[in-house]
Chain A
Amino acid sequence: MAIELKPLQQFTIEPLVPIHVGGVDLSYTNSALLMTLAVVLVTALVVLGARRAAVVPGRWQSIAEVSYEFVADMVDTSAGPGGMEYFAFVFTLFMFVLAGNLLGLLPYSFTFTGQLIVTFALAAAVFIGVTVIGVVKHGVKFLKLFVPEGVPPILLLLLVPIELLSYVIRPFTLAIRLFANMLAGHTMLAIFAGFAASVPLFGILPLGIDVLLYFLELLVAVLQAYVFAILTCLYLRDALHLH
């Protein structure tokens, strides 16, 4: 029996509600559906968790409070003084990416964080926002970010372009890190599932590996959301404090 193995087919975007406005394709796709679901779920968690708020929290209030404190602690530690103003943004970013990563692990679901354009949009928003914050706060002195202290001037000729390059590359690494992690993880799950389906008797072995991979993917989903958020906090600290 020949089973066609197409591991990357799970990433194809399918329009669910075709909407075409003057030649532009604005269809409501499966990616958009999952994003809507992520937003609805996170909003429901936070809003309904705070309803009938008790001093001794119930289950949903507990989850909402734990996620709030986790991100608040992260912003407080990593974004430095003045970083807590941006807590709402970091919280939204973290919960959106986390919900997206976790929703992608459900069977027959779609991972919208495994689309490079989605992660690039988020990373570009972070990069542009952080740069604007830095320029508005420091003016021209923002360029001091690229000149590390205590460096002999002759080395600056080499160091400043390197610092500049590593700054400009930030949105790309931020985007590709999340995208590649999600892509690689889900592709491996699909490939091992293909092995399990096509091997007659010993298919239990790739299936077992698939189960272990799934747990790894759960860890990676949470971890990548955390890394995205904490790097946002670190870039924010760089922009606010220039070192």
Chain B
Amino acid sequence: MDLSAAKMIGAGLACIALVGAGIGIGNVFSSLINALARNPAAQVTPFAFLGFALAEATGLFGLAIAFLILFVF
């Protein structure tokens, strides 16, 4: 198989990791909405943003691998 064809396939497969990121981020903000609906005075919003960044980070690790495959090898 051509190297560039294999690179495309590899990068595409690596991007499947972002599914996890989407589910994780949805979970975080769903919990935030639930918490604020039950108790609007709760100060949980900073934790929600921290959780969002950490969940997105793992997805972006996968995207970094995709870029690595595409542009470095």
Contacts and interface: CB of A to CB of B under 8 A. Distances in A.
Contacts of A177: 53-54, 57, 60-61
Contact of A223 (B49, B63, B67, B71): B49
Interface string A217-241: 0000001101100100000000000
A93 interface: no
Given A8-B71, A183-B67, A187-B67, A227 B60 contact: no
B50 A227 contact: yes
Contacts of B57: 173, 176-177, 180-181, 227
B52 A176 contact: no
A177 B71 CA distance: 19
A180 B61 contact: yes
B44 interface: no
A184 B53 contact: no
Contacts of A180: 57, 60-61, 63-64
Given A179-B64, A181-B56, A187-B67, 6 more contacts: A8-B71, A176-B57, A176-B61, A177-B60, A181-B57, A181-B60
Interface of A: 8, 173, 176-177, 179-181, 183-184, 187, 223-224, 226-227, 230
Which 4 pairs of residues, A with B, have the shortest CB-CB distance?
A180-B60, A177-B57, A227-B53, A180-B64
29 contacts: A176-B57, A176-B60, A176-B61, A177-B53, A177-B54, A177-B57, A177-B60, A177-B61, A180-B60, A180-B61, A180-B63, A180-B64, A181-B56, A181-B57, A181-B60, A183-B64, A183-B67, A184-B60, A184-B63, A184-B64, A184-B67, A187-B67, A223-B49, A224-B53, A226-B49, A227-B49, A227-B53, A227-B54, A230-B50
